[in-house]
Amino acid sequence: MPELPEVEVTRRGFAAGIRGGRILHARVDPGLRWPLGLAADRLVGTTVGGVDRRGKYLILELDRGLLLIHLGMSGSLSFRPVQPPPGVHDHMDLVTDRGQLRLHDPRRFGAVVWAPGLESPRAQKLLSKLGVEPLSDAFDVRSFHAALKSHHAAIKPVLLSGRVVVGLGNIYASEVLFRAGIRPTVRADRLSLARVERLHAAIRTVLSHAIERGGSTLRDFCGSTGEAGHFLLDAAVYGRAGLPCPVCGTPIKHIRQGQRSSYFCPSCQRF
């Protein structure tokens, strides 16, 4: 699933190009995860302003409302001067006088939702329960520590939930916990302030590096200009069960937490 780094890489790839573009034609497949909320042809004539991101949602600001775009499990956006004819898995086309934005989503879990504004009930239904943005100034160590104190579950699923901090998918949560020296099974409320400080720093470092590397391509993710992500080439533990830890040489362990795979070094992540 595209996570925060992949979504941010996508945003950066087309935001400047589409800014100021007037929508000439719009097509949105009604079979996506949620309904658009209005007839697609009502988007024609609107102008695209900025492109923002909240968690894994891209926010296209229009001069009349906004579009919330979620890439789902397998979605990707491409932005080109002209797109080829749509295929069976191409579920949205926004044709502007600056270029054409297309959503490709083989599993159809993606969504394109129109809302009149960020504070509208329609937008808040999707955004209001999201945790703090990890690369923003709002991501404060002491507030993070206080939020974790209210969670009695293991730290890995707490990070994955997106309720405390957004954007940490399975790959990045494993890498963050390794860098912080925290075992994925330790309870979130038992982390000391010193350990949360290391976790906070690791989250910022890992996500920033992932964005620089273009995100992670597991199956079919690519950025809006068609490039694959290369973060997994630098992964220390994710997908490396049985291989030596890059720090101490101990074989990496693999366990299941819920329905998700967790990878960790039993020596570097003792507690």
Catalytic residues: 2-3, 56, 260
Beta strands, E only, the chain: 23-28, 48-54, 57-62, 66-70, 76-80, 90-96, 99-104, 111-115, 253-257, 260-264
Q: Are strands 48-54 and 57-62 parallel, antiparallel or unpaired?
A: antiparallel
Indicate the SS3 state at residue 35.
coil
**Residue 88 neighbours by CB under 8 Å, 6+ apart:** none
The DSSP result for 216-235, as a single string, is: B-SSS---TTSPPPBGGGG-
Output b/e per residue, 227-256; b: 16+ Cβ within 10 A: eebebbeebbbbebeeeebeeeeeebbbee
